[in-house]
Chains A and B, each alone.
Chain A
Amino acid sequence: MPAFLTGINNKAKAKVLVVQEYFTLAGKALRFIFARPFYWGDLIQQMDEIGVKSLGIVLLTGFFTGMVLALQSAVQLETFGATIYIGRLVSAAMIRELGPVLAGLMVAGRVGSGIAAQLGSMRVTEQIDALNTLGTDPIKKLVTPRVLAALIMLPMLTIISDMVGIFGGNVIATLFVKLPTGFYWRTVWEQIASDGFIWRVIPNDFVQGLVKPFVFGGIISITACYYGLNTTGGTEGVGVSTTKTVVLASILILIVDYFITQLLLAFMTS
């Protein structure tokens, strides 16, 4: 085989290996949720780290996104005399798309980089090897609690982001468009109810809005753990792993968001 073809072949194999290792790590991390010993202390600590400490940025981004959404839609809807639909528009956009995606991107930036840097530092200072030699599986101890914490906390952060976003829309609708608060919230509920319910109680919009952050939580935590655990090249390598984590997790969130939307719309329509 010519040299350049061998080079392409090796590079392709390396990429396939990365994908294989990524999914192997994901599989092991999820399997260890049901294996003993389970590190409850680490789970609680990570839930605090990923969830509680991300609350500030999620509240801020959610609130201001809801406000700007209401402001922009008010300008457009006024042309058609349809400003009464601001509540519907803001709630649909926040619950279905902006809430999950914004919370995902914020957590990818704050938590994903943090996890990659922490595990990367542990790798270059031989702490991961130390765990191994002390008879602990690093995936069980370090990856599983982080993945599970992200799977639990990201949907919760999204719910909060949705709520403050819709409230932000309410502030604009009341102050600038002069819509009565009660009317605004009634249109919000009409929008939620209009898409139907699963088992007659869970609105379809909520399903769509909560499946996404659950998947995004997995993407962020597994990407961060993968790059963190595979860090090489000392402190410079830690920086590289952090950057790669934020870039890949953000891109995956946006791509996967489209496919989940397509899938759920097809499923709910049928």
Chain B
Amino acid sequence: MTDNKQGDAPPAGAGGEDDPKGRGRGDERFRRREDQQRKSKSAGVRKAIQAELESDAGEDAEELDRALEAGEITEVIALRNVYLAFDEPILEDVSFVAHTGETVVVVGESGTGKSTILKLILRLLVPDQGDVLIDDQGITTLDFDDALEVRQKLGMVFQGAALFDSMTVFENVAYPLREHTDLNDDEIMARVREKLEFVDLDPDKVLDQLPSELSGGMKKRVGIARGMANNPEIMLYDEPTSGLDPLTTGTITRLIMKLQRELDVTSIVVSHDIRSAFRMATKVALLAEKKIKFFGTPEEMAASDDPYIQDFLGGL
């Protein structure tokens, strides 16, 4: 019984006063060991993160800061005090901003409502309170048809790629072009080939394949090609690297960075993969307890002394 009580870790100081025969000393040792473990774990995490930060994403962040100060870039996506509840609250007072060309990576524990944020930006969900703005236009009050128009500014890559399984790769990538442009068949074919090449797929090999014939990584890449077919100014990614092997994860991460760099696309990425997140992010938003607990650059996040953030980085 006594052992169990010790294991329950009483509040600091309680053990020493109530049990001078040694239980307090044991607690003190336990706490010291825990602190040491946390520090060494954090040091390991910082080292790994530093490696990612030393990549060129850091340079991009500096460039973005300069452009922001010079007023060369604008707010593309903004969530302002968003509150959303179904049976119980999902998000409470969530706010963050993504500027032109930024990649904001939303991280957080499972089930905290990260993907819900993407659905709010797509206006598949409407917040109970607060506002979601795209290019300074509030989208929460739009009717269904106007919302469809706003969605044409956005490209979305789903967790499972969500390719239309009754259509070939060509038909999938061509779908938004056929729906919303006046391009003729030759122009559509040229655009589809261009996008497939951009995502490092050989058009001649994959054009006529069905999604069921593709690997997980190829599906994700076709999903990205479809998302960017219409040249959207915003790309949204829901867990783009989940379920992929480390090599394919690297490929997809590089693709997202390439899209940002070469096409100046603003991106929101929901991810569990903290290494990829730190590699591609210009800003990181940490969603915890239904709120944005941290919003800043990866460097700021890595340097944070907040125990939850350190635990989160270590846990991942």
- Interchain residue pairs with CB less than 8 A apart (16): A121-B165, A126-B160, A127-B162, A129-B122, A129-B156, A130-B156, A130-B158, A130-B162, A132-B124, A132-B148, A133-B151, A134-B151, A134-B226, A135-B176, A136-B148, A136-B179
Q: How many residues of B contact A (CB 8 A)?
A: 22
Within 8 A of A (CB), among B174-195: 175-176, 179-180
Q: Are B176 and A126 in contact (CB under 8 A)?
A: no
Bound-state CA distance A227–B184 (Å) is 37
A interface residues, Cβ below 8 angstroms from B: 37, 121-122, 125-127, 129-130, 132-137
B253 within 8 Å of A (CB atoms): no
Q: In the complex, which residues of chain B have a beta carbon less than 8 angstroms from the beta carbon of A130?
A: 156, 158, 162-164
Contact A135-B162, Cβ < 8 Å, known A129-B124, A130-B156: no
Q: How far is the CA of A137 from the CA of B124 in the complex (A)?
A: 12
Name the interface residues of B148-167: CB closer than 8 Å to any CB of A: 148-149, 151-152, 154, 156, 158-160, 162-165
Q: Which residues of chain A are within 8 angstroms of B148 by Cβ–Cβ distance?
A: 132, 135-137
A238 to B285, CA, bound (A): 35
- Return B48 CB to nearest CB of chain A, in Å: 32
User: Chain B residues near A132 (CB, 8 Å)?
Assistant: 122, 124, 148, 151
Given the known inter-chain contacts A135-B176, A135-B179, please indicate yes or no for A127 contacting B165, CB distance below 8 A: yes
Closest chain A residue to B155 by CB distance? A133
Nearest neighbor of A130 in chain B, beta-carbon distance: B162
B86 interface hit (Cβ, 8 Å): no
Q: How far is the CB of B147 from chain A (nearest CB, A)?
A: 9
Q: Once the chains are docked, how many angstroms separate the CA of A19 from the CA of B119? A: 26
Q: Is the beta-carbon distance between B159 and A126 smaller than 8 angstroms?
A: yes
Task: Report the number of A-B residue pairs with Cβ-Cβ less than 8 Å.
Answer: 50
Which residues from B are CB-within-8-Å of A122?
164
With CB as the reference atom, state the residue of chain A lying closest to B148.
Answer: A135
- A129-B158 Cα distance, complex, nearest whole Å: 9
CA distance A133 to B229 in the complex (A): 13
B304 to chain A, nearest CB (A): 34
Least CB distance from B221 to A in Å reads: 15
Q: Give chain B residues whose Cβ lies under 8 Å from the Cβ of A134.
A: 151, 175-176, 179, 226
Q: Which of B144, B152, B162 contacts A125 (CB 8 A)?
A: B162
Q: A125-B160, A130-B164 given. 7 additional CB < 8 A pairs? A: A126-B159, A129-B122, A132-B122, A133-B154, A135-B148, A135-B149, A137-B144
Residue of B nearest to A140 (CB): B148
CA distance A213 to B159 in the complex (A): 42
Q: How far is the CA of A126 from the CA of B164 in the complex (A)?
A: 9
One of A37, A129, A136, A137 near B162 (C-beta < 8 A): A129
* B211 smallest CB distance to A (angstroms): 10
Distance, CA A125 to CA B162, complexed state (A): 6
> Which residues of B from 73 to 131 have beta carbons under 8 Å from A?
119, 122, 124
Most buried by B among A127, A129, A133, A137: A133
What is the CB-to-nearest-CB distance from A234 to chain B, in angstroms, rounded to a whole number?
A: 12
**Complex Cα distance A135/B149, Å?**
6
